[in-house]
Structure 1
Amino acid sequence: MVRTPGRHQEVHTPPPTRDLDDGTGVTPCHHREPVGEPPPPLPVVHPHGVELEYARALIGGGFPKLPEEKVEELVEARVARRALFDRGEPTAMIELILEESAPRRPFGSWEVLRDQSRSLAADAERDNVSVQVLPLERGVRGGHAGAAGSMVLVKTKEHHDVVYLEIEEESLLVSEPAKVARLTHRYAKIRTQALSPDDSLSLIRELAGEERT
């Protein structure tokens, strides 16, 4: 794993009720994947699904401004994580649920955003990847299960479930079974509130300017 600023620590407290992000002010995604150790901090679109120029615009546009060499280092590390999509045995089964605001929010330029949407659409067609979009109007339909912020559910090599949370530059790893169970149930509710994978893919393609009938 490529580590980024922030430290991992074992915690036994509930996750915060504020939005969790990567310095952008946008709740990025709710994500589940089986890997050996927790992934690094989350951007607006999860690092495993980030296209090169989008990652560069996202990281380079943060505050405080990072030196160009640091931006390139973080971009290379983030894009390198896409290797997880093509990993052999055990194949990584990746489920990504993102807020509709994510593929609608431009970084760098509108064309960079469209390229990111095209990349996300291509990932959604992989056999080992599921992408769902949580509609913008979810909060006016009787509740928004993801309002407390983003999370990453991870199944370790030992088949233990843990939850990874990111707060600013601090990362938290929750392993207490009762708390993991509660967050897993929350994730399940988020899935039911999101668009289906097919409808999500149609929306992403529409945003990318390549809607298909």
Structure 2
Amino acid sequence: MTGQHREIRSIRGFAPRPHLGAAAHRRALGEHLRRCRTGIGITGKTAAQSIGTSGPTVSRLERGDRTENTSLHATALLRLCGVTDLQELAHARSIAAQGEQPDAWEAYGNSIVRWVQPLLALEPAAQRIMSYEPQLVPGWLQTHEYAQLVIRAGFPDLPHAEVEARARARVNRLDMFHRDQDPPALVAIMDEDVLRRPAGSPGVMYRQIQYLIQLLTGDLRHRISLHIAPLSMGMTGAVGHPIVHLRFADALLSDFVYLEQSEGARCVEGEGEAERYLARIATLSGMANPADLTLTQLEDRLDELATSRP
């Protein structure tokens, strides 16, 4: 192989790391396989016929979806593309093995709605998470009781056990920011109106704001940046739905955008549209108050709530 092809066909730059989650390993392997296949100029259908599987299987494999016999098919596809180095093939198989592990959301069973699963599966691998939330405190920063109220409001008929499971999954997402190895950074923007919107009893929001202050002054203060968009921003910055943008350190993982609606979500990947949403969040961040003013805003609102409490 030439130096150029060696760079394209090597996956050793992506080290198997369980804390990144299974989905990241599947996607990294899939993207590597796609690059190898297109690098030798064959179609997915031709590749499938050559390695004894179906075109849809190769397509799912390259997208990073779960498939049967992933390691077997990945090895066969790499050999088809001219990869014969035994260490290279072994490395690919080790990544495939990590991709077969449960995704992060699976610990909570069927309580996690289908459209949230891709986000929960991929965010542990993010180097940076950028988020805009117009209605609520960002999910990673919610207290358990606040999360319960939000989930109950959206799904009033949900059994208590499922509400608990979803709330637990939501607040446990903060754990990844405490990791010693490859912790993500969070840049979150929320509307000022969120702090004034009633959430159950007045004490719920009071404790939620206390928690935000604790996070922004504690061990995570260098990993979490919270911006509050003032009401004066008006319609200029209005976005009617939450946006989450994930950026990864590994070149094999393309940007991922999660766009949530009332009863569903849309996921966007790669360049182009994902970049457009990143630019939108960056614009909102620039229009919002600087992060170094957030503590003052939270403390002022806490004082207002304390004064109004009976």
- TM-score normalized with structure 2 length: 0.53
Cα distance in 1 between the residues matched to 2:210 and 2:304:
8
The answer to whether the 8 A contact 2:241-2:260 is kept is: no
Aligned position for 1:168: 262
Q: How far is 1:45 from its partner?
A: 1.5
Letter of the 2:191 counterpart:
E
1:100 aligns with 2:100: no
Structure 1 or 2: more helix by fraction = 2
Q: How far is 1:148 from its partner?
A: 4.5
The partner residue of 2:233 within 138, 161, 169 is 138
Aligned position for 2:166: 74
The answer to whether the 8 A contact 2:123-2:246 is kept is: yes
Give SS of 1:54's match: helix
The answer to whether the 8 A contact 2:255-2:270 is kept is: no
The answer to whether the 8 A contact 1:35-1:157 is kept is: no
Cα distance in 2 between the residues matched to 1:207 and 1:176:
39
Cα distance in 2 between the residues matched to 1:139 and 1:58:
24
Q: How far is 1:94 from its partner?
A: 0.7
The answer to whether the 8 A contact 2:241-2:261 is kept is: no
**Within 5 A, what are the aligned runs for 1:41-120?**
44-120=136-212
Aligned position for 2:275: 181
Q: How far is 1:46 from its partner?
A: 1.6
The partner residue of 1:151 within 238, 243, 246 is 243
- TM-score normalized with structure 1 length: 0.75
Cα distance in 2 between the residues matched to 1:199 and 1:49:
18
The higher-RCO structure (CA 8 Å, 6+ apart) is 1
Aligned position for 1:204: 298
Unaligned residue ranges in structure 1 (runs of 5+): 11-32
Task: Write out per-residue CA displacement over residues 101-160 of structure 1, whole angstroms, 9 at most, x where no aligned residue.
Answer: 1122121211110110111122223111100000112116xx21x424321110135243
